[in-house]
Structure 1
Amino acid sequence: MREDAQVGQLKLGELMAAIKEILPTKEEFASLSSEIQVLKQENTQLKEQVNKLRSDCAQNTDTIEFLLNKSKEKNLVFRGIPLGTDADPSTIVTKLLKEVLKINEHINITKAYFIGPASPTKMILVELAKPSGKWIIFKNVHKLRGLNITISQDYSARTREKRQKLSAVKSEIKRGEGVDTFVRNNLLLVNKQRFYWSEEKGLVNSKEEDATAALKSLTGEDMSRFVEGIKTGTISQQRPGPERRGTSSARGKL
């Protein structure tokens, strides 16, 4: 097509000249390419910084969780106290320790108060003067059998959430036979191998790796779908399991 050909109200040569005016030059292309490379480098640096911040945040969260649990190491939660019990919480716990658990040693209670919403039973949070008193109580907790009363360690909300998930996995494992499982603090022991709950990854081992393969080697069952269901919330964390020591359907009196 000739440059003097008409294109709309412009001649072709005029249109091509106008296009050349708005197109970037080679120098401008080179400068733009250089700017893009700088932006890519900045983007890479920003991603590294974000990953570092995430790692630091996770470490800080773990530290806070540890310190909270450390501050609660002398605390116990007594559940299932009959609602009609109107005595002082400290008096109730002292009576339970002496008359039900048959503990002769003096256990010094620093604080005791009712917690939780109104329900058919009461919960009492107890702060002991020394952690040693907690272990004396736990050694005698089997004497609660036949009463609808439980005694447990007080944990931070984050640890309680992890323990619920690990307990659900433990209960599912218990459906089989020949596997020794135990939830201690925020870890699950399966035949003495340790598993943890990661909010991001789900069930992991000590190396923060997906632990479902290791769990399969221990139990003979593929629990990947079950664990994923716990992680996504499609499977309830409250799984039926063996009766817990110190609990039954019978209601005791204090």
Structure 2
Amino acid sequence: MKQEITIVKIGGNVVDDASTLEKVLQEFSQISGPKVLVHGGGKIASDLSVKLGIQPKMVEGRRITDEESLKVVMMAYGGLVNKGIVAQLQAMGCNALGLTGADANIIPAHKRNSGEIDYGYVGDFNIEDIDTARLQFLINGELTPVFCALTHDQQGSMLNTNADTLASGLAISLAKHYHPKLVYCFEKQGVLLDSEDDATLIRELNYLHYQQLKDDGIIHNGMIPKLDNAFAARDKGVKVVIKHALELSKPAGTVLA
């Protein structure tokens, strides 16, 4: 019988706030059974870029990762944020191991082909290429993997990769060995009809309703890729919940139906 596993993805606004991050990590550390944490870098990479005299380049909210920006992203995501999270989890009694997709070749990827916009060193990956056996080996060793949003091209270059996509891909691939639950944590109560009113929380959301809300412009911007990835995971048998970061252990939030 398959064991349950929890994959938690924390968003940039959670990572950016030290107090919120500490509370979320405390709750995460207390989740029973095997678990995996996935995180982005928030605006830390942008702040570090400015300090180093490198102007961040964004198009429609997405980072253009040129050669210099890649160095900053590696320092911020793979170093400053990832190792800071690992150290906090260790202090909380959670034996965490910080990882990128390059470590143990767990998530090989490929550089995204240039379209109208060249996003630079941005990586996409195939779910079937994720080395779940190697990942399971770490988990069976009572380690808690903590992935930052970096993969690699197997040619010596790291690649900036969307953290929501990474979390969804890991949840789908781990379904070979476990019953996965994927939890997206951010600063809102869940999926809201009005982004400024927590009382408009949608407690259960199916794909047809999501499409209608997207067509009506109610769901837009950064929530679209998050929900696209969430529904991709749900379609592969993953239980998906989207909820407020400070309510990780509570039943509130939006469950995808």
TM class by shorter chain equals: under 0.3
Structure possessing the higher radius of gyration over alpha carbons: 1
Greater helix share, structure number: 1
Higher relative contact order (CA 8 A, sep 6+): 2
Q: TM-score scaled to structure 1, two decimals? A: 0.25
